[in-house]
A and B are shown apart, each in its own frame.
Chain A
Amino acid sequence: AQSVTQLDSHVSVSEGTPVLLRCNYSSSYSPSLFWYVQHPNKGLQLLLKYTSAATLVKGINGFEAEFKKSETSFHLTKPSAHMSDAAEYFCVVSGAAGLIFGTGTRLQVFP
């Protein structure tokens, strides 16, 4: 069975500092992994997607994630946070009948 765990429900950073949002997954086969972002009162938007090509995946808005099979992790990073990055982020793994979402990490960015 497939599952995904987001290790932090809230993360707070100062503007200009690095962002790390942690995600671990479990899958009985080689998974596809996604990060989606949800800004307040907006729909979910795809940040990036891993589908067994390069293990380092670059997404929109300067975000990237690294697939580490040995650690079953797919952490999301950004070198320098911007105020507009404040949102909820979902780590997602492909399942047999669609996508399986993590419980979300709310990112706060302080000036």
Chain B
Amino acid sequence: DVKVTQSSRYLVKRTGEKVFLECVQDMDHENMFWYRQDPGLGLRLIYFSYDVKMKEKGDIPEGYSVSREKKERFSLILESASTNQTSMYLCASSVLAGGPPLSTDTQYFGPGTRLTVL
């Protein structure tokens, strides 16, 4: 089974703190993704990466950055946390597929990190 793990299930931080969310996958997948999930809005893509040291902005990258130094690990960084970044953060991975890059591939999700910024 594919396993995607996230470093924390629950996290509480203060406004202005630098926050690191870690994600690790064990299936040698090429692609990794970070989403945030908010009630009534579904999942929105923050950043994705299709290779080590490669990253692409998703729909809502403002206030976030990412790092992918190793294939299995994809980190989401909140440089200066704000209260509007309180959310559930989901990491996912997928195998590189042909056709429109990334889009037809099944994504495997981690359990999520619920971040509260006070």
Q: Say which residue of B40, B56, B107, B111 sits within 8 Å of A99 (CB atoms).
A: B107
Please state if A97 and B107 are interface contacts (CB–CB under 8 Å).
Answer: no
Q: Say which residue of A9, A46, A97, A102 sits within 8 Å of B103 (CB atoms).
A: A97
Question: Among B11-19, B42-50, B65-73, B79-87, which stretch is in contact with chain A?
Answer: B42-50
Q: A9-B40, A99-B107 given. 14 additional CB < 8 A pairs?
A: A36-B109, A42-B111, A43-B4, A43-B109, A43-B112, A44-B107, A49-B106, A94-B104, A97-B101, A97-B103, A98-B103, A99-B103, A101-B43, A104-B42
**Complex alpha-carbon distance, A104 and B39, angstroms:** 9
On whether A98 and B33 interact (CB within 8 A), knowing A43-B90, A90-B43, the answer reads yes
Please state if A44 and B90 are interface contacts (CB–CB under 8 Å).
Answer: yes
Query: Using a Cβ cutoff of 8 Å, how many contacts connect chains A and B?
Result: 59
Which A residues form the contact surface with B (CB < 8 A)?
Answer: 9, 29, 32, 34, 36, 41-46, 49, 51, 90, 94-99, 101-104
Of residues A36, A41, A42, A101, which shows the largest number of chain B Cβ atoms within 10 Å of its Cβ? A101
Which B residues form the contact surface with A (CB < 8 A)?
Answer: 4, 33, 35, 40-45, 48, 56, 58, 90, 92, 100-104, 106-112
B48's nearest neighbour on chain A, judged by CB, is A98
**Complex alpha-carbon distance, A9 and B87, angstroms:** 19
Query: What are some 9 contacts across the A-B interface (CB < 8 A)?
Result: A32-B104, A43-B4, A44-B92, A44-B107, A45-B109, A90-B43, A94-B104, A96-B100, A104-B40
